[in-house]
Amino acid sequence: MASQSRIVELSSIIAKETAKLDKFFTENGLPTPSLEADALRSLPIPETAKDIEAAREAIMVACSELKALVTGPKALLRVDWTAYTSVKAIIRFELDKSFPVGESTTFEAMSKFSGLNVNTVQRVVRHAIINHNFFQEKTPGVITHSALTAIVAQDEMARAAIIVELDEFWPSAPKMADAMEKWPNSEENNETGFTLANNTDKGMYATLAEYPDRAENFGRYFFADRDPPHLLPDNYPWKGNETVVDVGGSHGSMSISLAKRFPNIKCVVQDLPVNVKEGAARLPPELKDRVTFMPHDFFNEQTVVGDVYYFRCIFHNWADKYCIQILRNLIPVLRPGAKIIIHDRIMPDPATVSVEDARRTINMDIGMLQLLNAKEREFKEWPELLQRADPRFKYLGAHRPPDAMRWIIDAEWQG
């Protein structure tokens, strides 16, 4: 008997795992997945339902492979060069905000709201509907919100995130190869795709600092962390009375979660002036005596004596030479036993993780290259980096909490 073809095998996986997912929703009285405007913003799968989350991921992986196989190699070589152009136009001209969620509109009304002519609005919106599920057109010429446009119209954090991805990150991608050709093997953050896309000689952070509105959106992008806010409090052996210096901590989301959990912990959040100003303004009043904000550039010497120095998503933004400088700038205030916690992704061995997990990390790795000439590091690179900074930094290990994207990398200053 001939072996089962791969496309039939994949279709069987999709059917089996989809039935499992649907049964879970039905038995638990949960709404079925939908892209309607009133749909839940994420699938209601609890952290404890590991088998259901595994089924969901298996469906996505199998669907992706099946689509590739039935598309065929030659067609797969075609580049979607229109990509997110329509989404960017919708956000730029606020077409998603041109009518309330739960109501409908027309191309003519969108035209009047935006100043764009009717034909252009119609072309942009229909491209976004077909390619990205932005809006719906169930009746010709009558536009309603989809789940996606309902989110960006009502959630300013989500809106800021998509603006950063489309306005700051996306234009850098096609310029990466040009930067690699112009500056071979560069470790400088001002010799990148971002640099070329912005027609500047400055790096991304220096460029954003010149534009407060862009910097503000960038800070919002990282305020709502992809990892759950309880991750660090739950997965590190805190004594509960430390002084934590949250270096490059943006608006202080992780420090806030620590302070809420441990009533005797004190946190100092350091970042660019615009970020610490907004973070301080958002800080819950009951935490003002234990969470403080101060401007600080981590390429200058550290001035705050602490028990723990915490870096979330900092080191993957910089090439090795700069990470070494960041670590060395801590030394003047370090006391023996001071801890350095690095909260970052680690490049996985593709044979040990799911396809989706590997894809997320390698995509971020290339993103760091195009924006900053930085990278995601492999396991072996972390102890090497600490030793290159100073042999008195002792690598204690790394672990990845359940359901987290990032690893907690632990080191100690031995003095």
> 362 near 353, Cβ under 8 Å?
no
Nearest CA to 386 out of 345, 328, 299 is that of 328
- Measured distance CA(272)–CA(381) in Å, rounded: 28
- Measured distance CA(101)–CA(153) in Å, rounded: 8
Angstrom distances, CA of residue 210 to CA of 170, 198, 213, 297 = 20, 12, 9, 15
> 266 near 243, Cβ under 8 Å?
yes
Instruction: Identify the bridge partners of residue 320 per DSSP, sorted by sequence position.
Output: none
316 labelled catalytic: yes
> 37 near 150, Cβ under 8 Å?
yes
Tell me the two tokens of residue 171. Answer: 């234009």
How many other C-beta atoms are found inside a 10 Å radius of the C-beta of residue 185? 6
Residues 210, 206, 249, 306, CA torsion sign: negative
Residue 67 phi/psi, 5-degree rounding, is -60, -40
381 burial type by CB count under 10 A (0-12 exposed, 13-18 middle, 19+ buried):
middle
Given the residues 251, 296, 316, 343, select the one marked as catalytic: 316
In single-letter form, the type of residue at position 405 comes to M
Instruction: Identify the bridge partners of residue 244 per DSSP, sorted by sequence position.
Output: 267, 308
> 301 near 332, Cβ under 8 Å?
yes
Question: Would you name the residues annotated as active-site residues?
Answer: 316
